[in-house]
Amino acid sequence: MSIVAIGTDLVELERLRRVWQRHPERFLKRHFAPCEIEYCLARSDPVPSLAARFAAKEAFQKCWPESFGWLEVWVEMAGRKPMLRFAPRLEAQMGEGLRAHLSLSHEKHHALAVVVLEEV
């Protein structure tokens, strides 16, 4: 097993909040899978969770050799642990011996995601 790539991304919560407020439905449907929207909107303040997921997609893109769409990668929770999930095309490529590890965090002003892409 060896690390292939590491990606990180930091999102300012208020910036994401402003974009979401300008185009609420369009922003959500364009950037997040239905399960992500459901999870985040169940929170008293959805913005930190949305921002962390936005950061996760950006962090994974920094690890991946080609572009992909916003809805081809999403975050699901396995208990308290966030996990990246992939659309069929990416899932097939990941199945060729790659594993993605994800860590999310947020605080008062920012959300952070770190992705480690590992060859297994």
Please give the structure tokens belonging to residue 93: 């490529």
Question: How is residue 10 written in tokens?
Answer: 């930091």
pLDDT at 50: 98
Mean pLDDT over the full length of the chain: 97
pLDDT at 88 over 90: yes
pLDDT grade for 1, boundaries at 50, 70 and 90? confident
Question: What is the Cα–Cα distance from 26 to 79, expressed in whole angstroms?
Answer: 29
* Alpha helices, H only, 1-120: 13-22, 24-31, 34-41, 47-63, 88-94
Instruction: Tell me what percent of the residues of the chain surpass a pLDDT of 70.
Output: 100
Cβ–Cβ < 8 Å for 119, 97: yes
**Residue 115 is encoded by which pair of tokens?**
């992705």
Angle of CA points 39, 92, 62, to nearest 5° = 65
**Does residue 87 have a pLDDT over 90?**
yes
- 8 Å CB contact between 46 and 31: no
**Total domain count for the chain?**
1
Q: What is the CATH number for 88?
A: 3.90.470.20
> Cβ(110)–Cβ(14) under 8 Å?
no
99-118 per-position pLDDT tens digit: 999 999 999 999 999 999 99
Predicted pLDDT at 52:
98
Domain span holding position 70 = 2-119
